[in-house]
Structure 1
């Protein structure tokens, strides 16, 4: 399905697209006084920033919270690291978290998805996030890590707190960010303590789970420290989980807003991978990535000093007319689709294959289970704070069985 379909329903996502359009209208590189950062919104410059970690650092430890709780999390969170530390951790984690392991999860994802959909089989209306988009990825990742089933709910609660964004506006200042970090510190402490205990349990009694494999991973005689594993496990459990949750909700909202899309995909579910990529381009869950300059640079025609915050804006870059034909048209058959949603360069999203697999299976099974799937009232949909994550918290849908 190509072209410019008639959108019959409105949502805050429409205003988000308009905001990204207005950012591009301000110029490819411009200064945001409130954020105290340079906004970079054109595709070429954003891709260049993400591909050059030597010039654009991901390490914000010098200005990060000094509480011990955040420091433990930071040690294994290679998303916020530069080479060579990033290379060391990613190489070690890659030994355990392999493409073969992800592919092997397909039957289990189908089983979990089927069970969750069975729970709403007799309903003609349910919350898609509560019923499927939220529990599916957390169950899959927690099982992968060897987390007991009784504790899966804990991680749902922690993720909900960490990504609520209740203390932030849509354009948060540094003071806003500091308040938000202070608010989530107790949750980070609780999560770190639980994960550290789980790692030590796996070290004492190794199993076939990913945590035990992380404990055993070794490169040139170097192994991961417990605190480093805490950071990666927390990253995978929380960030990896919430990305899939957002992707599933965003897909259903976007398909619903573009009449004929669901019908077309139901007739040929083999087209789902391309449609999912277009949803990722259209609504990147994490629309902005911060970087810090390590030397004076010129981006576009702007001179930017060393030590300056720049924001690589994926949402705006993904709709850059210099890179995409008809960028403000949702085209579920778009191919090629070189969006930047999962990043670019050394920080390309580690969990991207898992998120894509979960989304493909879940959406296929939704289309197979229900002959119709509709968002009846957008006034009842609860949206996330886009400054934190682009997604929905609650998504009531109406369905009809086969």
Structure 2
């Protein structure tokens, strides 16, 4: 694999760390600014909203400059946002810093996916995308626990300063290792927007929202589920999240390997198995060992869908993939927000802490249904194309026969 993928992975590691580390530092941040935990939670939702809105906005800008320069600009924005968070004198400034950092998230992964795919042979594109996303998954195994430890031991500001340093390393790596890739000639915003008229692009994004939403319906409420149902101590939740992160790493690598060989079959298997495992989690959540195994499986199966879904969008939006690729990254975060909201509804309805698992199973099952629909439509389109291609000589032959008569 090209060294440029390492630079992209470092950037992804920093972005993944800053996205999730705040969840473990909410009590410290809330106490420092004198706000409630629910208010501090805006630092999570504000970031997610920034990703959803920032992905298309930054990608529109990305249609005007080279992809390498855009990646460098995004890493600069990421560094600025984390430094602002680290030095924030008030909660409002802290929230602003989180939003500024989040604006880089979707476009970095979206444009980075295109760059990664362009660095390798066509049959290795999904593997290259997975290599970049490995930085995000490893962040959940190493970056988030380490950042949480630093924040709890030495102050949360030091955590965000350290993340800014990661951003500097990512920026230097992109500048040094990523080759100059000029913006494709003739590509304009209207061409990028035209990709959204392709029903296959929209179906792939809907699969992203529902499939990944299935994962976060369960994981968002993992702490109360494991402490209140499985009987784990509060301190054990960090290590359960590490197990989830290990599953993410493995699933991402497996997804990248097999998506280049059989993309749609991989989606059938991963989404179907994810729906089944999430449904079973309502039972295994009552047993500590079984719950831990299930958490690993959820992480693995959930992230096995990431490389194929991202590649699916790139393939279907070929010729103008920048905006579609970035918006699909926003779709992952939209799925997170949707799943968290639905999971909260069923808990508030008195159905218990395991009820979000059923929500996740339904979401993943719905994504599987869309995968079958996408394949059926694609087969129908291909069949029509073959019929049209095969029928072209027939009118000519009939005309020739008519002339002879």
Point out which structure has higher relative CO (alpha carbons under 8 A, 6+ apart): 1
What is the TM-score when the length of structure 1 is the normalising length?
0.31
Structure with the higher fraction of residues in strand conformation: 1
TM-score (norm 2): 0.31
Kindly indicate which of the two structures has a greater share of residues assigned to helix: 2
Larger-Rg structure: 2
